[in-house]
Structure 1
Amino acid sequence: MTPPPAAPHPTRVVVLRALGLGDLLAAVPALRALRGALPDASVTLLGPRDVGGLLRDAGLVDAVVAHQGLDPLPEAVHGADLAVNLHGKGPQSHRLLRATRPGRLVGFADVTTGTVGPVWDDTEHERARWCRLVRETFGVSADPDDARISPELPEPLARAAVVVHPGAAAGSRRWPAERWAEVAARMAAHGDVVVTGSPAERTLAREVAAGASLPPESVLAGTTDVRDLAALVASARLVLSSDTGVAHLAPAFGTPSVTLFGPTSPTTWGPPPGRTHRVLWRGDTVGASYQGDPHGALIDPVLGSIEAAEVVAAAEAALAQGMRPPSVGTPQA
């Protein structure tokens, strides 16, 4: 019996990851594995233009079509040979891609849309989840810790500074400004400190800088786009933040970091393991399965339980050890 002809290799691929800075950077290892699986395909990312541009310049995708959320996709991406859902488990995101009539849809299994694929695991680390989807679909290796990128960047607004990023999208992930000020003041004894954030966080950044007696020019919040922020992080000595997008920029450029976690555990959103990145997390003290509301309006109690002295100690240890410190797990009370 003559075997059926092999399916043609896809030449036109679209990938949906229409999420924010940290979410998109968490897909870097999966995108790298996808590129390895389909080296001759033209890959278009459906996602934010600014962050997507970094990934395009790093060689992970060939083009970016600006898209956010689950609005209908433009006609320009209809009819691709392959659509890859790195956005969510479905069914909404599956339906969004199916509406473009691709030759094949790759995504997690979903009965309501008839999608066949690996089974979604809520407990899985975000980077590992998407690597597993690519690995099990295409039979290629996919390393969830391979998060580095190397796009061309502009001249940084400050070099070799300690970056303090006090903001976050939700109140549950915003550590108190007065504690950030205490940390920033201690870091100023070791060299330049800059305070970053979005335009909406400029008031917060000024409050932190004033509380730390930093000069007004140390406040860079509201003055940087994604490329400027990436250049700043790439040249920094250390990045201090809560669990937000900047925390994912540090691993992307190999910059040492200290990240404060809560309400979400670092087991699902933490940086790659190793000597470069430290995490502070108190969730284990209230139960290993603790999960707060990452979109809540009020600071999560687990995040709020982290004291300024702990952050200072982790940051000073990182600086003292040449910014290649051993990882730190759950701080002890």
Structure 2
Amino acid sequence: MILALRALGVGDLVTAVPALRGLRAAFYGEPLALAAPAWLTPLIELIGGVGRIVPTDGLTLHRWDIERPRLAVNLHGRGPESHRLLHAAAPESLWAFANAEADHLDGPEWTEEEHEVQRWCRLLRHYGVTCDETDMSLAVPDRSAPRGVTIVHPGAKVPARRWPADRFAAVARQLREAGHQVVITGSVSEQDLRVRVAERAGLPASALPSTGLAELAALVAHARLVISGDTGIAHLATAYGTPSVTLFGPMSPARWGPPDRPYHRSIWHGTRSEPGDRPGPDVHPALLAIGEREVLDAVTEVSAASHLMSKL
């Protein structure tokens, strides 16, 4: 059995898809298990090739309820905690970034300023596995979803990545007036934020769809456009090739942004992050520097690019 660890969120999972597919191809015929949060199961099923999900809560695991893996692959971080967690599964081999504190020295060195997709593919290439960094697509869930909606997603797990609600509402209102069918998405904990944005944009209650993870993926797959901060739904737009405008704050799009496609647009007015930087409790200044007109102009650009691509 091959065991991979990626105990993080939606965007983290999507950026690891090329590496997971590289593992699947390199060890075809052997079971591939993924240690990840159980709530990501609907999304993991859309990747294909993962035969077993080992539920984790971050790096907390009371014990590994699996057989001894032939190989464990750390797609989670640089260690040492994640390295030690995988060592506890007693694998015959461990593939991971070098970390002396975890007594793992044969892996490549960690590079802080590196795109997340490239990072994990580089790790696997170090061990002789081929990865296609463009292979980020997901299957479309078999769920009913409206087609052609414009999704505005104002939330983000980290406050520093949340563009002000009033600005999201202003953009949503102008898009509605321009003929877009706008919906406001978010998690259960973001319901008050969604309602506030919808009300200020003059949207009806029907613009607040109730979506689980599979339903959200289906909605994105069939959407006209996604507007969001640097959070998981932006990576779903990448996976489905849905035109998107993503607003970046504390983190550079060079590390977490979409691939270079004309129908994806990243907006960022920040500076290069430093190792150890962590988002604070307030909206990041780079996000506050983004104006509503800049977002609407970006919508026009990606919409035109998408229309052109559909004609080719």
* TM-score, scaled relative to structure 2: 0.93
Instruction: Tell me what 2:9 maps to.
Output: 20
What SS class does the counterpart of residue 309 from structure 1 fall into?
Answer: helix
Q: Which secondary structure does the structure 2 equivalent of 1:191 belong to?
A: coil
What is the distance in 2 between the residues matched to 1:197 and 1:100? 36
| 1:181 and 1:212 in contact (8 A); partners too | yes
CA distance in 2: counterparts of 1:98 and 1:41, whole angstroms: 20
How many corresponding residue pairs? Answer: 307
Question: Match for 1:199 among 188, 191, 199?
Answer: 188
Per-residue Cα deviation, 1:160-199 (whole angstroms, up to 9, x for no partner):
1000000001110000011001110111123210000011
Question: Which string of whole-angstrom CA distances, capped at 9 and with x for unpartnered residues, describes residues 227-268 of structure 1?
Answer: 010010000000000000111110111111100011100000
Aligned residue for 2:156?
A: 168
Q: Secondary structure at the match of 1:102?
A: coil
Task: State the superposition RMSD in angstroms.
Answer: 1.8
* Partners of 2:292 and 2:160 in 1: CA distance: 17
Deviation at 1:320, TM superposition (A): 3.7
Deviations 1:181-218, CA, capped at 9 Å, x for gaps: 11101111232100000111111111111111111110
Q: Distance in 2 between matches of 1:159 and 1:308?
A: 25
Paired with 2:171 and 2:276, the residues of 1 have a C-alpha distance of 25
Give the match for residue 317 of structure 1: 301
1:185 matched residue in structure 2: 173
Aligned residue type for 2:43: L
CA-to-partner distance for each residue in 1:115-139, whole Å, 9 max, x for gaps?
12111111111110000011111x2
TM-score, reference length from structure 1: 0.87
Q: 1:293 to 1:198 in 2, by over 3 A?
A: farther
**Are the equivalent residues in 2 in contact too, given 1:265–1:291 (CA < 8 A)?**
no
2:222 corresponds to: 235
Indicate yes or no: 2:147 matched with 1:159: yes
2:140 corresponds to 1:140 = no
AA of the residue aligned to 1:314: A
SS of 2:53's partner is strand
The DSSP-based 3-state class of the residue aligned with 2:45 is: helix
- Structure 1, 309-318 or 240-249: larger mean CA deviation: 309-318
- 1:256 aligns to 2:246 (yes or no): no
Q: Which amino acid aligns with 2:290?
A: I
Name the stretch that deviates more: 86-95 or 211-220: 211-220
Distance 2:44 2:158 in 1: 26
* Identical positions, percent: 45
Partner of 1:37: 26
CA contact (8 A) 2:262 2:306 kept: no
Q: CA deviation at 1:102?
A: 1.0
Corresponding residue for 1:118?
108
Aligned to 2:78: 89
- Output the amino acid matched with 1:276: Y
8 Å CA contact 1:78, 1:102 repeated in 2: no
Cα gap change, 1:324 to 1:210, in 2 (>3 Å): farther
Rg (Cα) greater in structure: 1
2:97 to 95, 103, 108: 108
Query: Structure 1 CA distance, aligned partners of 2:253 and 2:148?
Result: 26
How far apart in 2 are the matches of 1:256 and 1:323? 10
Find the aligned partners of 1:164 and 1:292 in 2 and give their Cα distance: 31
In 1: Cα distance, 2:167 partner to 2:5 partner = 38
Instruction: For residues 92-149 of structure 1, give each alpha carbon's deviation from its aligned partner in whole angstroms, at most 9, with x where no partner exists.
Output: 0000010111111111111122212111111111110000011111x23212232111
> Which is further off, 91-100 or 310-319?
310-319
Runs of 4+ deviating beyond 4 Å: 287-294
The alignment status of 1:301 with 2:285, answered yes or no, reads yes
Counterparts of 1:236 and 1:152 in 2: how far apart (Å)?
Answer: 14
| C-alpha spacing 1:256/1:278, structure 2 compared with 1 (3 Å) | same
Q: Secondary structure of the residue that 2:7 maps to in structure 1?
A: coil
Contact 2:72 2:91 (C-alpha < 8 Å) held by counterparts? yes
Note the alpha carbon deviations across 1:245-303, whole angstroms, 9 max, x for none.
Answer: 111110111111100011100000001112221000112xxx44578955321000011
